[in-house]
Amino acid sequence: MTVVINMREGVDERKVKIAARFILEGKLVAFPTETVYGLGADALNEEAARRIFQAKGRPADNPLIVHIAEFEDLKRLAREIPDEARLLAERFWPGPLTMVLPRREEVPDVTTGGLDTVAVRMPAHPIALALIKASTPIAAPSANISGKPSPTLAEHVVDDFYGKIEAIIDGGETNIGVESTVIDLSSERPTLLRPGGLPLEEIEAVIGPVEIHPAVRGKLVDVARSPGMKYKHYSPNAQVIVVEGPRERVRQKIAELVKEYRSKGLRVGVMATEEYEADEFFHLGRTEEDVARNLFRALRELDKRGVDIIIAEGIEERGLGFAVMNRLRKAAGYRIVWA
């Protein structure tokens, strides 16, 4: 039996205590953050963290992100905190930034995927912060079945986990819609491991140039130092195709692809920033913030509408567009059509 805890009206301390008790007992609680919903367990409890992997069907070498509510909590998890980490925390925490740092021995191997580093962030969502403060640092990947689109509504978590976990906190729709940006600060040069809800440009304005790991551009890796680096991610049941190029040519190419696939008897869905003729259409909004917020919802919704093919309009790789295109290309298995 899964308890759904309604906190759409905001933090309810009584309900937070109920959810925190589940966490402290080694159970699983899905909760909203400003990015996506997380599937949480006590980060320092080996058996509890292992249950996350079991529930998601997540490979054991895909590390979890530990969520904290106070900067002091970072000292319990990381044995070194470089100056760059302090600067970034001062500027962007709470917020959609995860930092990878050398870990302390107290952090279980299962939480870090067996790595000598730990990924940590402080979420900017009042429910998430209240839950952590009432319990303990919480390990929480996105609350979806491994490989599927991340959840931005409690309903998405219910679809994937009802009857499989102890509790789901319904805090309404998440604000950003794509996961946190992950920066590795454990080696000589800061390295972007995953673009996300905090644009890279803003990070570089604080600490200077950041290297981009080849995995961000699709290169296969043997060791995943961050979620989203090694395994298939964000994929709906329908096949996804991303169309990239100059705007007018993209529009023409999408129309051509819709006609081609429909002629083969396939149901075609389109997700884009302007209207298209298709069997199903999802409007992503006008701005990069709109697209990021609606991205995973669109993939899930078009799946529910029973399409065979999802054609996604590419956007510019600036600001949040970098994270959007990273997710779209992964969702498509790098099936990209250039217009």
Helix (H, G, I), strand (E, B) or coil at 198: coil
Q: Is 294 annotated as a binding residue?
A: no
Q: Report phi then psi at 188, rounded to 5.
A: -65, -40
- 234 annotated ligand binder: yes
67 is in an annotated binding site: yes
Query: How many Å apart are CA 71 and CA 159, to the nearest integer?
Result: 34
Q: Give 99's DSSP letter.
A: E
Do 11 and 149 form a contact (C-beta atoms < 8 A)? Answer: no
Residue 48 near residue 26 (C-beta atoms within 8 A): yes
Dist. CA 45–CA 251, nearest whole Å: 51
Judge whether 121 is annotated as a binding position.
yes
Is the torsion defined by CA of 5, 151, 115, 201 positive or negative? Answer: negative
Q: State yes or no: 140 annotated in a binding site.
A: yes
Instruction: Find out whether 76 is annotated in a ligand binding site.
Output: no
Please check if 180 is assigned to a binding site. Answer: yes
194 marked as binding residue:
yes
> Is residue 88 a contact partner of residue 81, using CB atoms and an 8 Å limit?
no
Task: Return the amino acid letter for 28.
Answer: L
Cα gap 176→196, rounded to integer Å: 9
Annotated binding-site residues for ATP read: 58, 62, 117, 150, 194, 234
Annotated binding-site residues for L-threonine read: 35, 67, 121, 140, 142, 180
Annotated binding-site residues read: 35, 58, 62, 67, 117, 121, 140, 142, 150, 180, 194, 234
